[in-house]
Amino acid sequence: MIDGNEVVVVGGGLAGSEAAYYLAKNGVKTTLIEMKPQKFSPAHESVNFGELVCSNSLKSNDFTNACGLLKQEMRILGSLTMRAAEYAKVPAGSALAVDRDKFSAFITKELESCENLTIERKEVKSLSEILENGGRYAIIATGPLTSDELSADISATFGKLNFYDASAPIVSAESIDENASFTGDRYGKGTGDYINCPMNREEYYAFVDALLSAERAHLHEFEKGEIFEGCMPIEVMASRGKDTLRFGTLKPVGLTGEDGVRPFAVLQLRKENELGTAYNLVGCQTNLKFPEQKRVFSMIPALKNADFLRYGVMHRNTYIHAPSVLNADFSVKNNQRLYFAGQITGVEGYVESAASGLLVAVHLLDKLTGKIRALDGETMSGALERYVSTPNKDYQPMNANFGIINPMPMRIKDKKERYTALANRALEKMQAFKELGEIQDS
């Protein structure tokens, strides 16, 4: 154990769980504070750590995909999230999707049995109560739904921005019309895990008209603000033009029905749980009222008798203006005892959030043990660190993508070859980063 270097982690989501676990497993006496079940956010239901609230998909598992590359970098560093995902994965083609309950139960069990880790169930309402009465270092990983009092305190200190985050409906598998749908992955990749719901021209435009005229749920004043592109509600996307969805969420490219013909538009459904009894409407995040969701989505032929197990919801997402607040290691510029991790920093997505928590813990452990090493923009992890800490007055949440990673020295025209080269280089750099830490330990 590293004596006298206690760390307090606030928030038991993906980022907080990653940070607390990594530190404790590496001998740092750590306290993880989570307000559930004392208090729940509008989107959370489970008392478990690492609860997934929007989707059960962690996106692509292909290392030549930006998010897939980030996953592999996390595996090299010993990510708890990646271990949990492997344990709880469900078939989803080339994507990594999980049974949510098994996933969060795994994380919870690992945390509760972890030596050097103390868990406290209470609400933290201010930064000062942690910094003045907590450990030597504090990591704030309270997520996009940070409680009102703590959010107000963070806002008063650092400023904050709000944007919308929406989740998609889930339907029961047995209620999907097999005669009006077909299974298969785009371009034949994967193992045929998606259910595809085709629409002809008339059906598609009728669906879009219904989306545009449907009644939306009321938003509270604190939820009214800018909509982040990555979580765009389908009805907002449709308002940009009647063919927008055919080139986005409902694009038919790479898909053909049993007749060998590409449909006019296609909605894909993805398994929501390991048993395959529930399916998620991919890309259909929405803020329509619940009866309207049933009416509108049931217009899709394969969903005409759909049983909706969960309706889509929209909720507040909160993040700080990280470039003016954070260093590349996620520490606060004017307070080296304080760190932020997760979506509150402006990284966007499950994997990116977990990765930031892991990276905070790696850098903080290096500080505690006197290691000297750093990531650069040739890894996806280092590129994300650079993004959140580089001055940018128009700072917006960011997913992992190859646009933020350092380009190859020589231009590679072919996109697949370029991404493969970038990914191979990134993994070599991450492996070297890990080994450097091991050398310094010896």
Evaluate whether 102 touches 88 at the Cβ level (below 8 Å): yes
CATH, residue 175: 2.40.30.260
**Does residue 299 share a domain with residue 228?**
yes
**Sequence-ordered strand ranges (E) for 25-114:** 28-34, 57-60, 89-90, 95-98
Residue that the structure tokens 């969420």 belong to: 249
The model's pLDDT over 134-180, given as tens digits with 9 standing for 90+, comes to: 678 999 999 888 888 998 999 999 976 666 666 789 999 989 999 99
The domain boundary, picked from 288, 316, 344, lies at: 316
Q: Tally the domains of the chain.
A: 2
Co-location of 325 and 309 in the same domain: no
Query: Side-chain half-sphere of 133: how many Cα atoms within 13 Å?
Result: 6
Could you tell me if 177 and 307 lie in one domain? yes
At 275-323, the pLDDT tens digits run 788 899 999 999 999 999 999 999 999 999 998 988 887 766 788 999 9
Which residues, in sequence order, are CB contacts of 315 under 8 Å at separation 6+? 41, 42, 43, 145, 164, 165, 166, 223
First to last CA, the chain: 16
Nearest in space to 56 (alpha carbons), one of 309, 367, 234, 259 = 309
Residues 327, 388: Cα–Cα separation, whole Å: 8
Q: Are residues 141 and 219 in the same domain?
A: no
Q: Is there a single domain that holds both residue 156 and residue 188?
A: no
CB atoms within 10 A of CB 62: 18
Q: What residues form DSSP beta bridges with 278?
A: 172
Same domain, 58 and 139: yes
The candidate with the shortest Cα–Cα distance to 304, out of 267, 333, 270, 259, is: 267
Same domain for 176 and 306, yes or no, is yes
For residues 27-35, average pLDDT: 95
CA distances from 130 to 9, 21, 31, 125, 148 (A): 9, 19, 11, 9, 17
On whether both 311 and 436 belong to a single domain, the answer is: no
The predicted structure's pLDDT at residue 2: 59
Nearest Cα to 268, choosing from 351, 192, 174, 214? 192
Place of tokens 């995040």: 285
pLDDT on residue 442: 66
Judge whether residue 84 has pLDDT over 90.
yes
Most confident of 37-41, 164-168, 331-335: 331-335
Domain end, chosen from 256, 291, 316, is at 316
Cα separation, 61 vs 66, in Å, equals 9
Residue 399 or residue 296, greater confidence: 296
For the segment 106-117, the average pLDDT, to the nearest whole number, is: 97
pLDDT band at 440 (very low <50, low <70, confident <90, very high): confident
Q: What is the mean pLDDT of residues 252-274?
A: 90
Q: Mean pLDDT for the chain?
A: 90
State the Cα–Cα distance between residues 261 and 288, nearest whole angstrom. 32
Domain boundary among 316, 346, 362: 316
Report the CATH number at residue 112.
3.50.50.60
348 pLDDT band (50/70/90 cuts)? confident
What pLDDT does residue 266 have?
Answer: 97
Angle at 352 between CA 24 and CA 183, to 5 degrees: 120
Strands (E), 215-334: 226-227, 265-271, 278-281, 308-310, 314-319, 331-332
User: Comparing 172 with 2, which gets the higher pLDDT?
Assistant: 172
d(CA 300, CA 295): 10
Does 232 or 195 have the greater pLDDT score? 195
Of residues 298 and 261, more confidently modeled: 298
* Residues 201-218, mean pLDDT to the nearest whole number: 94
Mean of pLDDT values over 99-121 = 96
The H-or-E segment that residue 25 falls in is helix 14-25
- Over residues 336-361, the mean pLDDT reads 95
SS3 353: helix
Q: Is the same domain home to 255 and 378? A: no
- Give the range of the structural domain holding residue 363, as residue numbers without chain letter: 2-160+320-441
Helical ranges in 134-200 per DSSP H: 148-158
Same domain, 416 and 360: yes
At residue 87 the predicted structure's pLDDT band, cuts being 50, 70 and 90, is very high
Tell me, yes or no, whether 183 and 150 share the same domain. Answer: no
- Does residue 378 sit in the same domain as residue 394? yes
Residue 206 has a pLDDT of 98
Nearest to 436 by CA among 373, 385, 383: 373
Residue 229 — very low, low, confident or very high, per pLDDT cuts 50/70/90?
low
Higher model confidence: residue 220 or residue 157? 157
